[in-house]
Amino acid sequence: MLEISKLVKRYGRDEPVLKELDLTVEGSSVVSIVGASGAGKSTMLRCINRLVEPTSGSIRLNGTELVALKGAALRRARRKIGMVFQGFNLIDRLTVMENVLAGRLGYVNLYQAISRRYPREDIERAFTLMERVGIAHYANKRADALSGGERQRVGVVRALMQEPEVLLADEPTASLDPRTSEQIMILLQSLASELSLPVLINIHNVAQARTYTERIVGLRHGKMIFDGAPDDFTRDALDAIYGGIESPEEEPVAPANPPPAQRDRGLPHDAT
Amino acid sequence: MTRPERGATAPRTWRKPPFIANPWLRYGAWLLLAGYLVWAFGTLPFNWERIGEGLPRAARIFGGGFPPSFQRADLLLTGFKESFQIAILATLLGVLLSIPFAVMAAKNIVPRPVYLVGRAVIIVSRSFHPVIVAILFVAAVGFGPLAGILTLTVYSIGFVGKLLAEEIEEIDWGQVEAMRATGAGYLATLFYAVFPQILPRQVGLSMYQLDSNLRASAVVGIVGAGGIGGTLMNAFGRYDYDFAFAILLIIIAVILVSEGISGWVRKKIW
């Protein structure tokens, strides 16, 4: 169970990107988080595995408080949180198998990692998962030789290698063509039920959110303004989440997704 | 509206605007340059008499150099062998050591104090020409190849380290985030997310550095750090101009060949 309560994230002195956000995800439900760019979706997801440092609040995963963790304890907690990225974030120059095994980096020691001598169970697990998503025949191919959809499958398998207790997907389909992105959504949906794993998906495509997830959470300006089943996600809810974003009388939109440069600068020293 | 008037008035002219807009500054700079040249030529001790005497001597040296003599090929070979050994060893050492220093000097992956130390090491090893470093090392460890190896190692750390650090600062950060998200530790992240991204650059730089070290190993030999430079110095000292000339020719040939090979390898790797 993932419990987020009163989560606040503020970059510098700007208006907070997340304003006392509360969210609880139980069981193996697939939750999609929708909202305009800058609503705080990505920041929220990244606060959970602490790629972004929360300003205040609490995030508990199966009873473990994540916000206060440091060093080795943080790394141990991160092993239980799989993440799938919009840009896949594979190690392009390494093989698919190496990328998949990288999901075990939190478990193996440095020598095993560098010499690629992963435990036999890990390799077995890697093959099983790769077969499950249909990329096993690419094991020794370089990751950058694959197509977008295949690359995202590698990303998903890498996350699953961690034996996660929750899976975070940050716009996993935004870089893919419509058909491929539907396949990835179906994959995430079925993996969630097979592995009884809660999945949080940031997504722009509202139609896909309604089709492939059981619960939709709508964010706007760092606050949750919708939480319900896809059937309850009406026209009004959609307008409330996306409507009037560009209208001039709106208060200036806080930069919830900071420009990449800013995010990069903030991270390196606090994360590990 | 302006069109009919144009024919009546004088044809319009255009000149490139001056590089320095302010005329005072522009002519002042010329004046300063002229003043400096007069002062420099007026005060530096050019002894024209001695230069005049030297010219025939230079002619004698070049005359003595022809035809170059390859009679003492064994000496030539020993010198070059030592130069190669120095250059290759120094490249290996320097390239290996440059990796940790480059990591330390990359702003995005280390805390600020470490970054400052890393940058300082690289700046210091880059601030002196190899010949000056060689003089220091010859004084410290005595004449011979060890001084040459140490010199060129320092030289390589500075050059490769700096460029590699800049490469690290420009890596795709997403891969680092992905490794962190798996719970990987700092070193594992370095080996998985950072090193693969800088590998081609590192190989290219190593090839370039080998080429560069070969060239420099001939120079540092002159101040006593071993290799063909020492042989060359001895040949000059004993007025064996024909032998010295042979050495120079071989140096040129070796540099040409090594430049060709390293250029080819770098192109292949890119």
pLDDT at A256 (0 to 100)? 47
pLDDT at A271 (0 to 100)? 38
Of A85, A106, A265, the CB nearest to B183: A106
Residue A174: how many other CB atoms lie within 10 Å: 14
Q: How far is CA B58 from CA A127, B50, B64, B186, B238, in A?
A: 75, 12, 10, 61, 16
Phi, psi of A167, rounded to the nearest 5 degrees: -120, 125
Mutation site, A51, A80, A105, A151, interface B, largest B CB count within 10 A: A105
From the list A219, A212, A197, the residue with the least C-alpha distance to A82 is A197
Q: 3-state secondary structure string, chain A?
A: CEEEEEEEECCCCCCCCEEEEEEEECCCCEEEEECCCCCCHHHHHHHHCCCCCCCEEEEEECCEECCCCCHHHHHHHHHCEEEECCCCCCCCCCEHHHHHHHHHCCCCCHHHHHHCCCCHHHHHHHHHHHHHHCCHHHCCCEHHHCCHHHHHHHHHHHHHHCCCCEEEEECCCCCCCHHHHHHHHHHHHHHHHHCCCCEEEECCCHHHHHHHCCEEEEEECCEEEEEECHHHCCHHHHHHHHCCCCCCCCCCCCCCCCCHHHHHHHCHHHHC
Chain B closest CA to A81's CA: distance in Å? 7
| Tens digit of each residue's pLDDT, chain B (270 residues) | 455 555 567 888 898 888 888 888 989 999 999 999 999 988 888 888 888 888 888 888 778 777 877 778 888 888 888 888 889 999 999 999 999 999 999 999 999 999 999 999 999 988 888 888 888 998 888 888 888 899 999 999 999 999 999 999 999 999 999 999 999 999 999 999 999 999 988 988 888 898 889 888 888 888 877 788 888 888 888 888 888 888 888 888 888 888 888 888 877 765
Residue A31 above 60 pLDDT? Answer: yes
pLDDT at A244 (0 to 100)? 63
> Is the minimum CB–CB distance between B126 and chain A shorter than 8 Å?
no
Beta A81-84 vs A166-170: how paired, if at all? parallel
User: What is the residue whose two structure tokens read 């239980």?
Assistant: A80
Contacts of B245 (CB under 8 A, 6+ apart): B65, B66, B68, B69
Which amino acid is residue B71, in one-letter code? Q
B155's tokens: 């030289």
Separation of alpha carbons A52 and A270, rounded Å: 9
For residue A119, what pLDDT band results from cuts at 50, 70 and 90?
very high
Alpha-carbon dihedral of residues A164, A207, A144, A146, nearest 10 degrees?
A: 100
A12's tokens: 């510098």
B160 in Cβ contact with B209 (< 8 Å): yes
> Is the minimum CB–CB distance between B215 and chain A shorter than 8 Å?
no
Which amino acid is residue B126, in one-letter code? R
Longest alpha-carbon distance in chain A: 61
Q: How far is CA A53 from CA A18, A78, A156, A268, in A?
A: 12, 13, 24, 11
Mutation site, A52, A91, A95, interface B, largest B CB count within 10 A: A91
A89 in Cβ contact with A159 (< 8 Å): no
Q: Mean pLDDT over residues A57-84, rounded?
A: 92
A160's tokens: 């699953």
Separation of alpha carbons A45 and A83, rounded Å: 9
Q: Is the dihedral of CA B201, B108, A44, A222 positive or negative?
A: negative
A66's tokens: 């994540």
B233's tokens: 């110095």
Of A75, A114, A264, the CB nearest to B183: A75
Residue A257 above 60 pLDDT? Answer: no
> Is the minimum CB–CB distance between B196 and chain A shorter than 8 Å?
yes
pLDDT at B78 (0 to 100)? 87
Around B87, how many Cα atoms within 13 Å sit in the side-chain half-sphere?
A: 28
A120-154 CB burial, b ≥16 within 10 A, e <16: eebbebbeebbebbebbebeeebbeebeebbbbbb
B260's tokens: 């060709």
User: What is the residue whose two structure tokens read 């939750």?
Assistant: A31
- With CA atoms as reference, the chain A residue closest to B190 would be A114
B-chain residues within 8 Å CB-CB of A78? 180-183
Which of A22-36, A101-115, B71-85, B256-270 tops mean pLDDT? A101-115
Query: Which residues does A contribute to its contact with B (CB < 8 Å)?
Result: 49, 51, 75-79, 81-83, 85, 87, 89-94, 98, 102-107, 110, 113-114, 155, 158-159, 161-162, 260, 264-265, 267-269, 271-272
B-chain residues within 8 Å CB-CB of A113? 184, 188, 191-192
Architecture of the domain spanning B72-269: Orthogonal Bundle (1.10)
Phi, psi of A70, rounded to the nearest 5 degrees: -135, 160
ipTM entry: 0.85
Of A51, A105, A269, the CB nearest to B177: A51
